Structure 1
Amino acid sequence: MNAFMKVQNLHKIYGDKVVLNKINFDLKEGEFLSVLGPSGCGKTTLLKLLIGIESQTSGKILLKGNDISQLNSSKRNMGIVFQNYALFPNMTVLQNIEYALKFHETYKKDARKIALEVLEQVGLTEHMNKRVDRLSGGQQQRIAIARTLALKPDVILFDEPLSALDAANRLTMRQEIKRIQKEYHSTIIYITHDQEEAFTMSDRIMVMSEGHVEQLDTPLNIYNHPKNDFVNDFVVKHLQTKLNDLEKCMVKDYD
């Protein structure tokens, strides 16, 4: 059975610097794949190549068996949710979601109907006539997700979407994104530098460092069987430290 999405030897050079070094991975339909790594490891460049914002130096991107490597971003049927939301602050919630639909040949006739349905799914119907700049960060992020879902993309790319939120809202939005994914059976590639985020949300995690894939596996296998020192230090030891800190807090509270 062919992979829903397949990335083959994706390579990107800026000047004389290799930013992505022959990246390979497959993605199943309905899978949640996190791309985890420190700043500068190449994960954002990977996202830009996948969505078509930038072009690769070499390599291929196949989606449902079709080579989309050279297609314009508007022709790839992918959606993207940015960390800064990229909403229109002078528009209402409903207008923000309708906007892209009105310019889409397939959906423009039903733009209002689709927007209302998606708003109900993400629990924002009561806010549909409010300007987005009057809403909280978490609510704005839900609007950004709803706007992407409305266009029914084959793959949704998330670019560190929770980095601007406080701890409580991050936890709530993790749960919300997973709920939406299951309800829509969405196929997701999620860019993050947060180990906990990746481990609590993902079916598989692709750990990156300096343009390379260090390990691609399930969270449990990565934790129990880190492939090398980088994965052990960046992922496993970090999570172990977090768990130790949590245990100390619990003991202190109990005392």
Structure 2
Amino acid sequence: MKKKRIMITSTLVAAALSLSALTAFAAQDNSGNQTPQAPVATTTYKAQENKNTLFQYSTINALMKGQFDGEMTLGELNKHGDTGLGTFNGVDGELTQLDGKFYRYTYEGRMVEVDKKELTPFAVTTKFQVTKTARINPVKDMTALNEQLTKLIDHKNNFYAFKIHGTFKTLKTRSEEKQHKPYPTLPEVLANQSVFETENVTGTLIGFYTPNYAATLNVPGFHYHVISDDKTKGGHVLNISFDAATVQIDEIANLEVNLPQTHEFHDADLTTVDPEDVHKVETDQK
């Protein structure tokens, strides 16, 4: 069956989304209430006239409702970008895409490179273009990291991708166990997630920023996965600290959404997801 695509610019996304979802999450950006500390040694490059595109398969609301079977292969996804994150069919672990390769961090805590024939029910990717770099000040937790990155966002209604490389003093990540039909909801799955806490991990944080008005499409605010340089550690990031790191930033003005063409997607009511529930499952909030 032919897949359906939506190609929109960031300035048009807001008009397409429900006002209720926007209002429910208008003040939530995962960054807490502390006063932001500015990053240092920022160098700005000429933005590529904001031509870059964030490609997305399915929506966060569909994933929240337990739609864990997608039709898109990782090979297809790879045509649209080289840097991304998501999950696998059956939510079988956390997916991280780095330099065009795909990695699964399993429920048991193993990192494995994945064949591009595998399928995904939800993923985002972009052809990463550096529009700005910065040296980040010491970060004591996720809130402090989000504050510093927020200071580096020039246009809050655009999308952003980040690559942050450094040695992370503490790292708290998670993964989830493969599910079988009939599927539970994502919050039910993550009630039994595996949590891993490690120290002094050198690696790359892959992150995306989604404006709050797009809360029904993707995780609003910041969303990070990580992969260690030695390809042994990773997963969805719940918390992090480090003394210093370098961030590469890609400002993105276009969004392309490829919608699943399944009975589950067509028949689901995707308006009943509370953005606050998305925030809870994507953060370390209890």
TM-score by length of 1: 0.25
Higher strand share: 2
| Structure with bigger gyration radius | 1
TM-score by length of 2: 0.23
Greater relative contact order (Cα < 8 A, sep 6+): 2
Higher helix share: 1
